Amino acid sequence: MGTANYHTHCDLDDGAGRPREYVTRARELGFAAIGFSCHSPLPFPCDWVLSERSFAEYRSEIGRLKGEGSLPEVYLALEVDYLRGVWGPRAPEVASYGLDYCVGSVHFIDIPATGEHVAIDGSAEEFARCLAEGFGGDVRSMVREYYELVREMARHSTPDVIGHIDVIKKNNPGSRYFSEEEDWYRAELRETIETVAASGAILEVNTGGLARGRTDSVYPSPWILPECLRLDIPVQINSDAHRPEKLDFYFAEARALLREAGYRKQAMLIGGAWRAEEL
């Protein structure tokens, strides 16, 4: 049973702690591998992603840690946003970075009238503004647009790992805007995992919403996991760590959820190749 974490940030983007502190913690935890996936630079100003300058430092720092060659294995990755027609995991710039893999995530929805990119996993106020200004208060349209973006990314800009697939629930505490029990919501997520299955990408089980007290379940919500297994979607457990001490947050519980759903393997990058390892 191997353990690793392929979705981690650090003090060079919006996390805390030097990359080396994460590696040290991963070693203490007996991880086989750690992959750094800071937020990739974006083609517009954004204060929580790597800047051109911090990206250069990031690459050289992770390269240095990789070069030390001791366990855990260290990998250089990015969490790349998908922006319709503008940017994504398969953008030529991203291919030129020489990454070991990439996590693809949707954090932004555009407000059609202004073209503004609004982060839907940020503050409750920002989410409410996107809903009001972009969708006239129609939450179904906004949720549909979110999942449509994830599907587009999976189809046309396929990452190695799909990041926090249902992060749209982050600003829905107490089912404030929608219920995950409703048929229309479940149909959206189901259609999305079918697209992920066809893409061949790995689906992460991400404990980061719980780690930051923003959700009461992992991404994706556990009810969908047996359906992911039926579609033969490879999975892996990540904590989206923004602090070294969160590297294995809720891992035991996430593993139990996956086993309960019937999973016995998780996808791990070991020796430079993705493998199905005992869960």
Question: Least distance (Å) from Zn ion to the CB of residue 9?
Answer: 6
Residue number, 31 or 114, with CB nearest to Zn ion: 31
Show the binding pattern over residues 237-256: x = contacts Zn ion (CB under 5 A), - = does not: ---x----------------
Q: Are 263 and 279 in contact (CB under 8 A)?
A: yes
Q: Are 46 and 277 in contact (CB under 8 A)?
A: no
Cβ atoms within 10 Å of 230's Cβ, excluding its own: 12
Which distant-in-sequence residues (6+ apart) come within 8 Å of 121 by Cβ?
107, 164, 167, 168, 170, 171
Q: How many residues bind Zn ion (CB under 5 A)?
A: 3
Of 59-67, 123-131, 235-243, 249-257, the window that binds Zn ion (rule: CB under 5 A) is 235-243
Give the H or E element holding residue 6: strand 4-8
Question: Least distance (Å) from Zn ion to the CB of residue 6?
Answer: 11
Question: Least distance (Å) from Zn ion to the CB of residue 80?
Answer: 10
Buried b (16+ CB within 10 A) or exposed e, 101-118: bbbbbbbbbbeeeeeebb
Question: Least distance (Å) from Zn ion to the CB of residue 47?
Answer: 15
Residue number, 66 or 214, with CB nearest to Zn ion: 214
Torsion of CA 12, 16, 22, 24, to 10 degrees: 120
Question: Least distance (Å) from Zn ion to the CB of residue 147?
Answer: 16
Show the binding pattern over residues 73-112: x = contacts Zn ion (CB under 5 A), - = does not: ------x-------------------------x-------
Write phi, then psi, for 273 (nearest 5 degrees): -130, 145
**Span between the terminal Cα atoms of the chain, in Å:** 6
Can residue 13 be called a binding residue for Zn ion (CB under 5 A)? no
Report CA Rg, the chain.
Answer: 18
Question: Least distance (Å) from Zn ion to the CB of residue 81?
Answer: 8
Show the binding pattern over residues 157-196: x = contacts Zn ion (CB under 5 A), - = does not: ----------------------------------------
Where on the chain is the footprint of Zn ion (CB under 5 A)?
A: 79, 105, 240
